[in-house]
């Protein structure tokens, strides 16, 4: 199970990457894409939308099921990855490259407080039967 050490995570299986410009990129983890299977549709939040932490803000749909994606922290959406409209399968082939949206977080401390890789590993392990 691939969980890059340089990213932050949520218990709802989003990964968060702190970018140099102070924004964060958000996607779903390897574990999440594997649970869902082949992706066929992504619905992104509107740029400029203000999100509260843990708010439903995007949807990924695989052949099998739809799943909500949650805002990892509070902040404003600054960009969405338009490539995923035509190629949602990028989430399967490269989950940590296929960012879904970028946010400007209200507080850098909120980002720092997200799960680290080791803690997220514990979350994933606890879900395995």
- Applying CB under 8 A, the residues found at the interface with other proteins are 37-38, 40-41, 43, 59, 61, 63-64, 66, 85, 92
Task: Output 43 or 76, the one with its CB closest to other proteins.
Answer: 43
| Closest approach of other proteins to the CB of residue 61, in Å | 4
Handedness of CA 11, 110, 4, 77 (dihedral sign): positive
| Closest approach of other proteins to the CB of residue 79, in Å | 19
Nearest to 105 by CA among 56, 54, 52: 52
Task: Output 17 or 54, the one with its CB closest to other proteins.
Answer: 54
Distances (CA, A) of 122 to 16, 22, 92: 17, 28, 22
Task: Output 43 or 106, the one with its CB closest to other proteins.
Answer: 43
Rounded Cα–Cα distance for residues 12 and 15 (Å): 9
């Amino acid at each position: 199970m691939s969980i890059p050490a340089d990213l932050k995570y949520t218990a709802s299986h989003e990964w968060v990457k702190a970018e140099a410009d102070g924004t964060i990129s958000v996607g779903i983890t390897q574990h999440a894409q594997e649970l869902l299977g082949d992706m066929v549709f992504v619905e992104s939040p509107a740029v400029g939308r203000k999100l509260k932490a843990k708010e439903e803000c995007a949807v990924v749909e695989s052949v099998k099921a739809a799943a909500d994606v949650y805002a990892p922290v509070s902040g404003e959406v600054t960009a969405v990855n338009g490539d995923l409209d035509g190629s949602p399968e990028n989430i399967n082939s490269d989950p940590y490259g296929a960012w879904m949206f970028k946010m400007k977080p209200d507080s850098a401390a909120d980002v720092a407080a997200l799960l680290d890789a080791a803690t997220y590993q514990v979350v994933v392990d606890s879900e395995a039967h």
